[in-house]
């Protein structure tokens, strides 16, 4: 009798385990399916020429990324929106129909949630090519947050973007994000000369508001001190 009870108990446990596994598998398959459906919906909205549809796509993307959905469809939609009107242009009778800087800005911000080499490259392309300060500022902000700066390419792109804007249309909000990004990327920057030159120009340009120039001056002192310390250590190492 005792043996029969043990066999019955073991059988019951196996049935429960099998049921739980089946539920988990079904849940996983359902989750993947929903992710694919979400991605397809987002991409359809992103490809629309309507501003409201693109705005809904941004909201979907934010929710998807917060849920950990980084499927190919989601990334493609993010790329599409970040470069909308720039890398992808839809024209009717010569008129650009999908130029929405606010959408590009929000998409650039969301790219920081996908800290990959692909996102970094996309953001660099936008930073150096876009003409809207709000978009460039968002791209620079996300580049700083992602933190990938091999061969100083992120810093060089940010400095180029700000220099171009500084000549054509100096904007304090953009300069502030440039400074914030430089702070985040300073430790990963091999040659700080480009960064120091860019910060120095901001600190002495009276087109920018006083708080921005003051921040630039403080960062300049920090970078100069760091550079002097690095040079001293290098000299000491060479002497040995």
Task: Name the pLDDT band for 40 (thresholds 50, 70, 90).
Answer: confident
pLDDT digits over 56-112, tens only? Answer: 999 999 999 998 989 898 999 999 999 988 878 778 888 877 789 999 999 999 999
Q: Give the distance from CA 140 to its chain's centroid.
A: 9
* Range 113-117 average pLDDT: 96
pLDDT, tens digit, 9 for 90 and up, residues 122-158: 999 999 999 999 999 999 999 999 999 999 999 999 9
Instruction: Give the number of C-alpha atoms closer than 13 A to the C-alpha of residue 26, restricted to the C-beta side.
Output: 6
| H/E element, 26 | helix 2-46
Q: 190 CB contacts (<8 Å, ≥6 apart)?
A: 151, 152
Cβ-contact 159, 191 below 8 angstroms = no
Judged by phi (left if over 0) then psi (alpha if -120 to 50, else beta), residue 69 lies in beta
Let me know the angle formed at the C-alpha of 28 by 26 and 32, rounded to the nearest 5 degrees. 115
């Amino acid at each position: 009798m005792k043996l029969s009870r043990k066999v019955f108990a073991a059988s019951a446990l196996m049935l429960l385990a099998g049921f739980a596994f089946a539920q988990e598998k079904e849940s996983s398959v359902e989750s993947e399916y929903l992710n694919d459906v979400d991605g397809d919906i987002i991409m359809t909205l992103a490809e629309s020429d309507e501003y409201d549809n693109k705005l809904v796509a941004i909201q979907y993307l934010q929710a998807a990324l917060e849920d950990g959905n980084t499927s190919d469809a989601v990334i493609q939609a993010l790329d599409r929106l970040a470069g909308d009107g720039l890398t992808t242009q839809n024209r009717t009778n010569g008129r650009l129909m999908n130029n929405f800087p606010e959408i590009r800005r929000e998409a650039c911000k969301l790219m920081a949630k996908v800290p990959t080499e692909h996102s970094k490259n996309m953001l660099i392309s936008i930073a150096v090519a876009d003409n809207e300060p709000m978009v460039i500022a968002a791209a620079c902000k996300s580049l700083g947050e992602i933190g990938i700066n091999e061969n100083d390419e992120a810093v060089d792109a940010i400095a180029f973007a700000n220099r171009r804007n500084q000549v054509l249309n100096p904007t304090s909000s953009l300069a502030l994000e440039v400074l914030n990004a430089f702070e985040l990327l300073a430790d990963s920057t091999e040659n700080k000369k480009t960064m120091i030159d860019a910060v120095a120009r901001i600190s002495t340009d009276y087109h920018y508001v006083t708080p921005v120039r003051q921040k630039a001056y403080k960062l300049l002192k920090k970078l100069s001190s760091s550079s002097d310390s690095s040079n001293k250590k290098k000299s000491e190492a060479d002497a040995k």
